[in-house]
Amino acid sequence: MKFYIIIPAHNEAEFIGRTLASLSEQSLKANKILVVNDQSSDETAQIVKGFAERFPYICLFTISSSEAHLPGSKVVNAFNQGLSQLDDNYDVICKFDADLIFPKNYLRTIASHFTEDPKIGMAGGFCHIRKDGSWKLESLTNKDHIRGALKAYRKACFEEIGGLKASMGWDTVDELLAQYHGWTIKTDPTLAVKHLRPTGFTYNKAAKWKQGEAFYKLRYGWFITAIASVKLALKKGDPKLALDYLQGFRKAKASKMPFLVGKKEGAFIRRLRYKKMLSKIF
């Protein structure tokens, strides 16, 4: 299987070297690794160039976008610009963050999942963060969800869902649309990836509204949004965040913000969410 990896990076000099080192040491090597340097002011570009000199499959592509670090749009725009620089001669396309350390068998294991089951459209491991002297599963992780930090898509699935949406919630809508089109999502708990920086660490203050906007764009409706908001706020250890999410939903609804999914897709998503809720109750 041919793997293409795109890594959006903005001021990642502290971590990008360890990420590229772990990918260069994989038992199954990627065919191409493209680091999209998005307006970095640190040594990110120089570090990537050093790896590119040693490994011909690693490349650097520099872009200039907004300095605002809002969840979703900045990273996906960088990914999409990187994607436009690559050919389509791949079997698996990956969007990885620039602050991860992958186990040496990561890509080989992902490839085996895709090979063994042709209905798997997306596959990934789990992020772990350093806490109290040891690596522990990141609290935001659900057992059936692949974090946006380490997405791997089968080519046919990636094309059928229309690629990645430049919006908060992109790493949820991709999985929902994949299931809408009949694909399955594979998570592998044996693939423990070290996440060197907590999720959302660099987001600016405007990010607090974005989660509620994402729930609206996914056509969740008020009831599912309320439950999802409380659940996520509790996971983050700050119940007050639920109010921000609901406020973001209200603002998006009042402004008639465009949806990320169509009516039929939205109806499917709501049925899927209700089904999961009921399965946890009963």
pLDDT digits (tens, 9 = 90+) for 24-40: 999 999 999 999 999 99
Lowest mean pLDDT among 29-33, 52-56, 120-124, 135-139: 135-139
Position 236, amino acid: K
CA 69, CA 58: separation in Å to the nearest integer?
Answer: 25
pLDDT at 278: 81
Q: Read off the pLDDT band of 204 (50, 70, 90).
A: very low
Residue 44 main-chain phi, psi, to 5 deg = -55, -50
Q: Which residue has the higher pLDDT, 81 or 202?
A: 81
What is d(CA 52, CA 132) in angstroms, rounded to the nearest whole number? 35
The Cα 251–Cα 40 span in angstroms is 32
- Report the pLDDT averaged over residues 255-280: 91
Ordered by start, the domain boundaries in the chain are 3-195, 207-281
Q: Which residues neighbour 9 within 8 Å (Cβ) at sequence distance 6 or greater?
A: 16, 35, 36, 37, 38, 40, 44, 48, 78, 98
* Mean pLDDT in residue range 191-198: 92
Per residue in 41-51, pLDDT tens?
Answer: 999 999 999 99
CA angle 183, 23, 139 (to 5 degrees): 60
Give, in degrees to the nearest 5, the angle at Cα 73 between 68 and 79.
110
- Extract the tokens encoding 247: 């406020």
- pLDDT above 90 for 119: yes
Average pLDDT of the chain is 91
pLDDT at 201 over 80: no
CA–CA gap between residue 80 and residue 132 (Å, rounded): 37
**Cβ neighbourhood burial of 95 (10 Å; 0-12, 13-18, 19+):** buried
Q: Which CATH class is domain 3-195?
A: alpha beta
Q: What's the CA gap between 126 and 51, in Å, rounded? A: 26
Torsion of the alpha carbons at 155, 157, 163 and 167, rounded to the nearest 10? -140
∠ CA 168-42-194 to the nearest 5 degrees? 55
pTM, to two decimals: 0.90
For the stretch 128-154, pLDDT in tens is: 999 888 999 987 767 889 999 999 999
